Structure 1
Amino acid sequence: KVIGKDQKDAGLVFDKGLNVIEGASDTGKSYIFQLIDYMFGGSKKPKNIGEARNYTEIRMQINTYDNKKYTFSRQFDDNNVYYAETDISDFDSKQTKKLRAKKDPRDDNNISCFLLGLTGLEGKKLKINARNVTREISFRDVATLCLIDESDIISEISPIYTNNLMDKTVEESLFKLMISGRDDDGLEAYEDPKIFKSKINGRLELIDEMLREKEKLITEINKQTRDLDFDELNLKIEEFTNAMNMSHNLVQEKEVERENIWKEIEALRSQLKQNEELSFRFKLLDKHYKSDLSRLDFINEGNQVINQIKQINCPTCGTLIKSGQIAGYKEINEKEFNISLTAESKNIQLKQKELEETMNQMNVEAGILNISLSEKMKQFESIDQYIANKLKPNININNSRILELLNKKTLISKLDVLKVEINNLAKEKKYYGDKLKEKQKKEPSAQLENNLSDKFVSEVEKLLREWHVVFKKVEFDKTTYDINIDNKPRKDHGKGLRAIYRSAFLIALMKYCILNDKAHPFLMVLDSPLTAYKKHDTTKEDEYDEDIQNYFYDSLSKISKDSSLQIIILENIEPSQVIKKRITFEHFSGNKISGRYGFYPLE
């Protein structure tokens, strides 16, 4: 349906099976076709007719054959389509998702990919040229086989072709896909001839440049190695190698000797460190002894001072103690005290003397250790200088001479390699030169297997017989991708029969796909398939005298509304009353007084 603000909705309901919209000219039948095509991602918007001036939005509900419902919405001037999985009557209450109307190979979020997903054709590849280049299928490709307007219906070109010659290969690939179920994914593509030649010429230029560089390098090497003999180089390399090895052995011996001296140095340093630590501790001990002696002297002097005091107060109560009261105690304690003090002083002095002797001995040992350490350091530095200043320079000189000789030897060997490379480049140059002269391979379009085209033609013949078209044989022409009727190409018939045959071709393709389980939208919209047909005047000798249009409707009306096929016919020719009862039928009267005038309601 089409809606607009403050406007009565304009719409139609189609069912499975046959649907016929019949009526007078200029009542909107072809406009309905344009609406359907536009909603299926067509770039050309419906014709701007007067009746539609206040309408802004098209809505279309699609029911899939697995009972899903999708409603799509598109403004007349919008490049986006919005949809929701719902019935068309509930669309306004649902949250919608956006799809681009135009297919984008970099993004699947478009109406084409959505519809292809419903038909089972999403992601299929179609060949687009003789070089086997492919692209993804678009629903606009498929639309050429199921949406046929009033000008295409009578066209002389094959039903699978559009008027764009550039699309001929891809249209043949699409038909092959529909018939066989096989796409062109996996084809090995050939390069564009211009690009191919450009790459070959570029490669030839590179080869020429490489040849010039290698020939120049050969000239330079010949100058550097002009008077050199390969065997003589080997003898000199051996001589310098032996000299360098001797120097290496001497270095290793001296390094072992240096390492042993270093271990002795470390041991001497360790002994000196221990000596220093002991000396430090002994000095502390001597200081302690001196402190103890000073303490004893202080005690002795204090005792003498106390003896000179005449009156003494009791330390407990403070009462004056008479000297006579403590005389006995004082005499006894003072004597013992002096003996003890003298003994301890002598003991400390003895230890102090022993300590002094020990410290003197340690100082002597430290002097000896320092002398030994100094001598070892001199030995270490002497060996180190000998290695650094004598042996290693000899090694470096010999190594430089060896490298120089090896480089010259490599240059001589490289001459042979360069000659082989030049020979290979010459062969490669000839190969690419020959490739440049070759005509690039082009793959013809894949031909349909005879059994598949025969099955398809059988469906065409069934329809034509049901429509009471008189013929003997229908054949599929693999060069024109069209049918020949009794050896006469379809294009050579009048436009009325061309329309009949084109309809039979496309409906037969749809039936073939459903019978052989091939992917197809299973929808066919035909605009004016019968209008151009006029039957011949009949005589008693004619093989038929009935109207093909009536048999056409009768045959298609037998497609059940429970089937998985839908055909929509937009026509000026009205089916019989019997047929109308079996189909979904809408009549546009073109009369403002009676019946439905056209697609849009009258104001």
Structure 2
Amino acid sequence: MALKAGFTLKCLRATGKDHSLSELRFTNGLNVISGASDTGKSYILECIDFMYGSDKLPRRIEESKQYDFILLEIEDKSGKQYTLERSLKGGDFNLYESSIDNITTTIPKIIESSHNKNNSDNISSFLLSLCGILGGQVVKNQENDKVELSYRLINSFCIIDETRIISVGSPIYANNIYTRTLEKSVFNFILTGRDASDLITYEKPQIISAQNSARLEVFDNLIHDLEKRISEFPYDEIIVFAKINELDLQINTYTESLNSVSLEIYHHQIARKDAWNKQQKIENRLSAIEGLLKRFDLLKEQYISDLNRLDFISEGDHFFNQLEYVNCPLCNTPLSEHVKNLLCDEKAEELIDIQTACEEEARKIKILISDLEKTVNSLTNEQTTLTPELDEQIILVKNEDEIIQNVLSPQVISIKDKIQENIDERQKLYGFESDKKRLQELWFLRSSTSIKDSTAEKSIKGKRKQNKPQYDMEARRELCNIIANTLRSWKYVEEGIVEFSDDWDLIINGKVRSSHGKGVRALLFTSFTYSLMEFCNKKSLSHPMTIVIDSPLTTFREDQKREDEDEISGKIQTAFFETLSKCDKNEQIIILDNKEPPRELWGTINFIQFSGNPNSGRKGFLL
């Protein structure tokens, strides 16, 4: 079986410097804290509300000056304990996953004090999760604009201070008239468990009206500008058509001229390209000839050098042959005839070989020189022929460039300028026709928009009526029956019918709550708050299952016209405490009041009494 949602307050503690400590322990069921004024009862509610995420700091009363922190121990329905810690100066919370007495051995987690849908580490998301609420949306105005459900919205149905409990008006409303749609949506969520995320959001009538006015203003400005431009145009419609035809003919004529000149330019470009190609070819050939002639000059010089070398060899051999034989330089012995003859024979043979070789080699070189001279003459003749041809091609390229750049290109520019002038003029004339058509379209669109916007606004109003938040009438009837049973059990009425008025106030036996005095308003407000918790508990709906109510009985007095005023008043007070003492064990009720419960109940409930006297019992909350 799934655990029920909700939580129980176990301990409220104030700590400060010098180990100052004051605390209250709570239990399931009924908790009554009774005492005279100025004993800190309302301060308890302020501290609990502060620990629920209120940005309103508890009052700095005289007794609170020595305290710096408030701690609140909470237990979920599975028995898991948590402790919240917050500075009395405000700010974020420390969350300990332990009882209040074991926080010194636990590392806290810092959670924010404000609801944040993008970060679940905040007090609102933490308390909502204990209530079994994992997100949701509620509407805040008639256009169904939505806000994220936060615990502070739920909290207003669970903590009732001494001012609100006697307020005139519906118990589901706070004091701000601008949040009533929001509060009704939250109330419906508590009754049904269904949020408002499926409702369609509509724009405000003021925004729709402003958008319509803006559209019409845009159309009016466009229409005004077009009408002014049309009225200032120098020609009427007939002349416009004639001028357009005339301009078209001129454009065609200029276009033909442009095509003719462009064709002529093309032919000259072809001629220039041919001349330039020939020029490049001749220049390349002349460059090659010049290189060859330089190399051939070097080659001829090498040939001549070789001939001179051969002449030198031949002449040296001749002189060597003229030398005479002499005696041995060592012993001065004359050479024998046999040796002389042998040397002469060898020398004669060598001489013949050298002479022959030199002559043959010289003959070959002379042939090469002759061939080289022929080649040089041929190249020189070709060079002589090509040079004037090169000059001719250079002149041709220059002439073609002159014709293209200085004659034909200016003609093209001039013709194009004339064509563009005619096109611009024609465009102005077409613009006149376009403006007239556009003006008709704008008038039609303005008329259609005005009708469409009016229809759309009516349609949105109709849809808004159909798509209003649906408040569950059956759930409200069941809640009213529980409130009636509660009031009967308190002996406020013997039999009665409870219902909601059109402005969501309680009606008991035909009399609206706001028409009663303060005491009855407080009692009826309490019956609503307690019965709402009873309803959610029976239906297993999301609810904290703990309520804190300040002064439900203090201002209550029975009808003075009744003779048994004191007896009936005592009966209602006794029945009030007896009924609440028998509440479901899943519920927790904390009552802060000057009135005390009957003595016979003290042992069955958690009763804490403040004496207001430091010498007698417990003086108040803060010691």
TM-score normalised over the length of structure 1: 0.80
1:577, 1:202 → 2: CA distance?
Answer: 73
Does structure 1 conserve the Cα–Cα contact (< 8 Å) formed by 2:219 and 2:446? yes
Q: Which residue of 2 aligns with 1:361?
A: 378
Instruction: Evaluate the alpha carbon distance shift between residue 497 and residue 384 of structure 1 in structure 2; reply closer, same or farther with a 3 A threshold.
Output: same
- 2:262 corresponds to which of 248, 251, 259: 248
Q: Which SS does the other structure have where 1:46 is aligned?
A: coil
Q: Which SS does the other structure have where 2:23 is aligned?
A: coil
2:232, 2:289 → 1: CA distance?
Answer: 71
Q: Which residue of 1 aligns with 2:434?
A: 417
1:156, 1:31 → 2: CA distance?
Answer: 23
Does structure 1 conserve the Cα–Cα contact (< 8 Å) formed by 2:557 and 2:569? no
**Residue identity matched to 1:498:** R
Instruction: Evaluate the alpha carbon distance shift between residue 397 and residue 156 of structure 1 in structure 2; reply closer, same or farther with a 3 A threshold.
Output: same
Q: Which residue of 1 aligns with 2:391?
A: 374
Q: Which residue of 2 aligns with 1:547?
A: 571
Instruction: Evaluate the alpha carbon distance shift between residue 51 and residue 401 of structure 1 in structure 2; reply closer, same or farther with a 3 A threshold.
Output: same
**Residue identity matched to 1:183:** A
Using the TM superposition, name which of 3-12 and 83-92 deviates more: 83-92
Q: Which residue of 2 aligns with 1:232?
A: 246
1:515, 1:73 → 2: CA distance?
Answer: 32
1:364, 1:376 → 2: CA distance?
Answer: 19
2:490, 2:359 → 1: CA distance?
Answer: 153
- 1:474 corresponds to which of 467, 481, 498: 498
1:67, 1:106 → 2: CA distance?
Answer: 29
Q: Which residue of 2 aligns with 1:168?
A: 180
Using the TM superposition, name which of 178-187 and 448-457 deviates more: 178-187
Does structure 1 conserve the Cα–Cα contact (< 8 Å) formed by 2:484 and 2:496? no
Does structure 1 conserve the Cα–Cα contact (< 8 Å) formed by 2:314 and 2:354? no
Structure 1 residue 144: Cα displacement? 1.9
Q: Which residue of 2 aligns with 1:398?
A: 415
- 2:609 corresponds to which of 551, 566, 587: 587
The CA RMSD over aligned residues, in Å, is 4.5
Using the TM superposition, name which of 552-561 and 113-122 deviates more: 113-122
Q: Which SS does the other structure have where 2:21 is aligned?
A: coil
1:416, 1:263 → 2: CA distance?
Answer: 55
Residues 1:457 and 2:480 are matched in the alignment: yes
Q: Which residue of 2 aligns with 1:315?
A: none
Q: Which SS does the other structure have where 2:66 is aligned?
A: coil
2:291, 2:173 → 1: CA distance?
Answer: 107
Residues 1:532 and 2:569 are matched in the alignment: no
Structure 1 residue 35: Cα displacement? 0.9
Q: Which SS does the other structure have where 2:174 is aligned?
A: coil
Q: Which residue of 2 aligns with 1:597?
A: 619
Q: Which residue of 1 aligns with 2:8?
A: none
2:543, 2:274 → 1: CA distance?
Answer: 93
Q: Which SS does the other structure have where 1:176 is aligned?
A: helix
Listed one character per residue, the Cα deviations across residues 506-549 of structure 1 (whole Å, up to 9, x for unaligned) are 23334444555655444321112233334569899xxx998344
Listed one character per residue, the Cα deviations across residues 6-37 of structure 1 (whole Å, up to 9, x for unaligned) are 14311123344443333444322211111112
Instruction: Evaluate the alpha carbon distance shift between residue 94 and residue 380 of structure 1 in structure 2; reply closer, same or farther with a 3 A threshold.
Output: farther
1:500, 1:462 → 2: CA distance?
Answer: 14
Q: Which SS does the other structure have where 1:364 is aligned?
A: helix
Structure 1 residue 57: Cα displacement? 1.6
Does structure 1 conserve the Cα–Cα contact (< 8 Å) formed by 2:550 and 2:592? yes
1:304, 1:16 → 2: CA distance?
Answer: 149
2:418, 2:373 → 1: CA distance?
Answer: 66
Q: Which SS does the other structure have where 1:242 is aligned?
A: helix
Q: Which SS does the other structure have where 1:161 is aligned?
A: coil
Listed one character per residue, the Cα deviations across residues 409-459 of structure 1 (whole Å, up to 9, x for unaligned) are 2222222322233345556667888989x9998868745242343344344
Does structure 2 conserve the Cα–Cα contact (< 8 Å) formed by 1:463 and 1:508? yes
- 1:499 corresponds to which of 522, 533, 539: 522
**Residue identity matched to 2:528:** F
1:580, 1:593 → 2: CA distance?
Answer: 22
2:97, 2:310 → 1: CA distance?
Answer: 112
Residues 1:158 and 2:182 are matched in the alignment: no
Listed one character per residue, the Cα deviations across residues 160-213 of structure 1 (whole Å, up to 9, x for unaligned) are 2222223333323333343452236865453584x7777776666655554443
Does structure 2 conserve the Cα–Cα contact (< 8 Å) formed by 1:126 and 1:136? yes
Which runs of no fewer than 5 residues in structure 1 stay unpaired? 313-317
**Residue identity matched to 1:365:** E
- 2:589 corresponds to which of 567, 590, 593: 567
Instruction: Evaluate the alpha carbon distance shift between residue 548 and residue 284 of structure 1 in structure 2; reply closer, same or farther with a 3 A threshold.
Output: farther
Using the TM superposition, name which of 417-426 and 46-55 deviates more: 417-426
Structure 1 residue 2: Cα displacement? 0.8
Correspondence 1:103-252 to 2 at 5 A: 111-112=123-124, 115=127, 124-130=136-142, 132-180=144-192, 181-183=194-196, 187-190=200-203, 193=206, 207=219, 209-222=221-234, 227-228=239-240, 229=242, 230-252=244-266
1:321, 1:596 → 2: CA distance?
Answer: 164
Listed one character per residue, the Cα deviations across residues 345-367 of structure 1 (whole Å, up to 9, x for unaligned) are 33233223322322332233344
Does structure 2 conserve the Cα–Cα contact (< 8 Å) formed by 1:467 and 1:548? yes
Listed one character per residue, the Cα deviations across residues 275-318 of structure 1 (whole Å, up to 9, x for unaligned) are 45544554554454455456556656776788799999xxxxx9
Does structure 2 conserve the Cα–Cα contact (< 8 Å) formed by 1:495 and 1:532? yes
**Residue identity matched to 2:365:** I
2:496, 2:81 → 1: CA distance?
Answer: 44
Q: Which SS does the other structure have where 1:343 is aligned?
A: helix
Q: Which residue of 2 aligns with 1:32?
A: 44
TM-score normalised over the length of structure 2: 0.78
Instruction: Evaluate the alpha carbon distance shift between residue 50 and residue 439 of structure 1 in structure 2; reply closer, same or farther with a 3 A threshold.
Output: same
- 1:75 corresponds to which of 84, 87, 93: 87
Using the TM superposition, name which of 31-40 and 487-496 deviates more: 487-496
Structure 1 residue 395: Cα displacement? 3.4
Does structure 2 conserve the Cα–Cα contact (< 8 Å) formed by 1:233 and 1:409? yes
Does structure 1 conserve the Cα–Cα contact (< 8 Å) formed by 2:159 and 2:548? yes
Aligned length: 588
